[in-house]
Amino acid sequence: MEYNHMQRGSWHYILFAVAAVMLAAAWVARDEVWAMDLNLAVAVLFVALAMMFGSLTVRDEGQWLALRYGPLPMFRKRIRYDKITAVEPDRTKIIDGWGIHYIPGRGWTYNLWGFDCTRLSLGKKIIRVGTDDADNLVKFLKGKVLADGLSAMP
């Protein structure tokens, strides 16, 4: 059994639009070197962010569940299947937001777009993996963990 799913988000379009506005501002401010440089730097930053958070790929890598943002693969996370103690479909809240972050009491969130997610329990540690394919990811993970006899999952 294998799993490989890529979710595409829409935030990167907004980031590219901001970068375009900053490039236009750099052109307008071309006579003031510091203003042009500042606008160019912000434009480059927003292009880089757009390239880092355009998609979220979740896939099976043998003993690991791998999460990778892209297409520029700066942020990755691997979760060992033998550490997973429970899996269930869930929904993130507004407080969870999007991206990669930790919220005390709620755990880690790896999300790109939308509110559907898969909640993984690793003992007392919680990881939420945002996806537009939550039911299939839950089914895969339950099958993988139970088939390998790695955990006593409910």
**Residue 145 pLDDT:** 82
Nearest to 40, CA basis, from 61, 57, 22: 22
In a domain, 25, yes or no: yes
Please report where in the chains the tokens 């071309």 appear, as a residue. Answer: 30
Give the pLDDT confidence of 55-64 residue by residue, as tens digits. Answer: 999 999 999 9
2 DSSP assignment: -
pTM (two decimals): 0.82
**Residue 102 pLDDT:** 92
Same domain, 27 and 92: no
Nearest to 144, CA basis, from 70, 66, 75, 76: 66
- Taken in order 137, 138, 140, 145, is the CA torsion positive or negative? positive
In a domain, 78, yes or no: yes
In a domain, 152, yes or no: no
- Quickly list H helices, 81-147: 134-147
- Residue 138: pLDDT over 60: yes
Query: Do the bridges between strand 55-61 and strand 64-70 make them parallel or antiparallel, or are there none, so unpaired?
Result: antiparallel
Determine the structural domain holding residue 29 and report its residue range.
7-52
Tell me which of 16, 33, 52 is where a domain ends.
52
Domain total in the chain: 2
Strand partners, 117: 90, 130
